[in-house]
């Protein structure tokens, strides 16, 4: 069956027309049996750049249900999320679903394996706990088990001390070197003041949360087209858990104000500013994070880039619909540049050449 799709980008009055042949885009030819998208706006897909498919939303985070992880990946596709960067968990469910689940039933996924921390530097019995003696072996193992990423917990609160850095700059630099040997990137959780700058200086590829990135960090991060995933919704949820008047809550609120101020400057500096859900909402709701970024003052065009095109380009993917490429697109009834909330309501999803909704 030859399906013809009209693909018009946000803010445009024209677009391209492609046929789907054997799951791939092709130049229009002859008469199509079905025509789609004539009055729609198209994106190559929504992107969740800080997903955790293995994380049960609103349940025990150490749940070990693989089928639930598969279900969350399926839910993400139906919501138009066609690329996800999964930043690891306490198990390898996401790695398994990449290998076992058909492409049209899940997003395209890059993923870290088991998260890396140090003793006392994360939830008990959750992460792979590295020591100075096991650090290099652990990073190599993480690169081997992952699908493109290694995840580090860069800091974590200790009782009576507040957030404490888990790894020094030399360790971070070595982690980047070791991961790069197998073609992997390094992502780092950072909520403390010191951790983001250490990570940027060490060449870490993606700064997760990054509440206390500084203007001085933006230039080197932008020069290498590094990534920053602020996860605003998740950070706000942690503030509510801790209490806005607690010392931890006040620290995070200060960090969120820094995020508000730096996001537009980061995009201007060439940083790949990306939208990510973490664990408060699932990947299927990454459009909510894009809307929250707008509420924090990020212009709508930049928020739209953060939840779509920039996730593709940051990971070396095409954002066009070139003949021969796998057919992926999500279509919307209205232009998200006029109202970004439309991203929550796709009218049509095409994944791996299949029209699935």
Q: Is the pLDDT of residue 260 over 70?
A: yes
Residues 119 and 224 in one domain: yes
DSSP state of 183: T
pLDDT 10s digits, 82-96: 999 999 999 999 999
Q: Is the pLDDT of residue 148 over 70?
A: yes
| CA end-to-end span of the chain | 17
Q: What is the pLDDT of residue 89?
A: 96
Q: Tokens 């076992």 identify what position?
A: 100
Residues 218 and 87 in one domain: yes
pLDDT 10s digits, 71-121: 999 999 999 999 999 999 999 999 999 999 999 999 999 999 999 999 999
Q: Is the pLDDT of residue 64 over 80?
A: no
Residues 18 and 141 in one domain: no
The enclosing domain of 105 has a CATH number of: 3.20.20.140
Residues 167 and 90 in one domain: yes
Residues 274 and 173 in one domain: yes
The enclosing domain of 11 has a CATH number of: 2.30.40.10
Range of the domain at 246: 45-314
Residues 229 and 288 in one domain: yes
The total of structural domains in the chain comes to 2
Residues 343 and 262 in one domain: no
Model-level pTM greater than 0.75?
yes
Region of residue 22 (left: phi > 0; alpha: psi -120 to 50; beta: else): left
Q: What is the pLDDT of residue 61?
A: 61
The CA distance from 114 to 143, in Å, is 10
Residues 302 and 196 in one domain: yes
Residues 29 and 98 in one domain: no
């Amino acid at each position: 069956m030859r399906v013809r799709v009209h693909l018009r980008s946000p803010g445009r009055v024209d677009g391209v027309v492609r046929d789907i042949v054997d799951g791939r885009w092709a130049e229009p030819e002859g008469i199509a049996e079905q025509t789609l998208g004539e009055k729609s706006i198209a994106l190559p897909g929504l992107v969740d750049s800080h997903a955790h498919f293995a994380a049960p939303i609103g349940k025990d985070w150490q749940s070990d249900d693989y089928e639930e992880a598969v279900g969350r990946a399926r839910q993400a596709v139906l919501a138009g999320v066609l690329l996800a960067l999964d930043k690891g968990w306490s198990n390898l469910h996401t790695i398994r679903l990449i290998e076992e689940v058909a492409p049209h039933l899940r997003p395209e996924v890059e993923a870290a394996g088991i998260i890396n921390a140090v003793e006392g530097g994360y939830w008990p019995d959750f992460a792979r706990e590295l020591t100075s003696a096991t650090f290099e072996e652990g990073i190599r193992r993480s690169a081997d088990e992952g699908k493109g990423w290694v995840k580090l917990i860069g800091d974590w609160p200790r009782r009576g001390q507040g957030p404490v850095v888990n790894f020094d700059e030399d360790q971070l630099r070595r982690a980047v070197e070791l991961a790069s040997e197998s073609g992997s990137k390094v992502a780092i959780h950072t909520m403390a003041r010191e951790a983001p700058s250490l990570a940027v200086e060490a060449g870490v590829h993606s700064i997760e949360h990054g509440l206390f990135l500084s203007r001085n960090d933006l230039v080197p991060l932008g020069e290498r087209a590094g990534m920053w995933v602020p996860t605003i919704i998740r950070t706000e949820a942690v503030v509510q858990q801790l209490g806005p008047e607690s010392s931890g809550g006040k620290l995070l609120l200060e960090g969120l104000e820094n995020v508000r101020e730096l996001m537009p400057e980061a995009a201007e500096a060439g940083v790949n500013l990306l939208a990510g859900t973490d664990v408060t909402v699932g990947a299927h709701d990454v459009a909510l994070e894009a809307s929250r970024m707008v509420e924090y003052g990020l212009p709508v065009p930049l928020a739209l880039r953060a939840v779509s095109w920039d996730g593709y380009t940051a990971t070396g993917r095409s954002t066009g619909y070139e003949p021969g490429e796998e057919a992926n697109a999500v279509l919307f009834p209205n232009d998200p540049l006029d109202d970004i909330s439309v991203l929550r309501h796709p009218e049509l999803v095409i994944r791996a050449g299949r029209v699935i909704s």
